[in-house]
Amino acid sequence: MDANKIRELVKKHLSEKPRNTTEINEWISKQTQIKPIFDIAALLESDPSIIRIGRVRRSGVVGKKSPLSEWATEEWVNHHQRKQPEKRREKI
């Protein structure tokens, strides 16, 4: 399966809610019936509409080469983004 097709599958999967790298890898394996032989983080980073929204660094979970990251679509991030409070004017 080529990288573009996998990216499209992942975008549909991420449209519901953010997922971490391991969840995405397992989901791809179930969808394609093959074990992914590529770096999923690099594949997701190469798509500007998929955003890394966090990174988990737990001892023993993953190595330094493949951090456990949370991923979401740009649309999901924009929809769930917190509104920034307006700055108040200071009274003199």
Residue 63 has pLDDT above 60, yes or no: no
- The DSSP bridge pattern shows strands 68-73 and 50-56 to be antiparallel
Whole-number Cα distances in Å, 29 to 6, 36, 68, 91, 92: 11, 6, 17, 60, 62
The structure's pTM equals: 0.69
pLDDT more than 90, % of the chain = 15
CA distance 73 to 24: 13
Give start and end residues of each alpha helix (H) in the chain: 3-14, 21-32, 40-45, 74-80
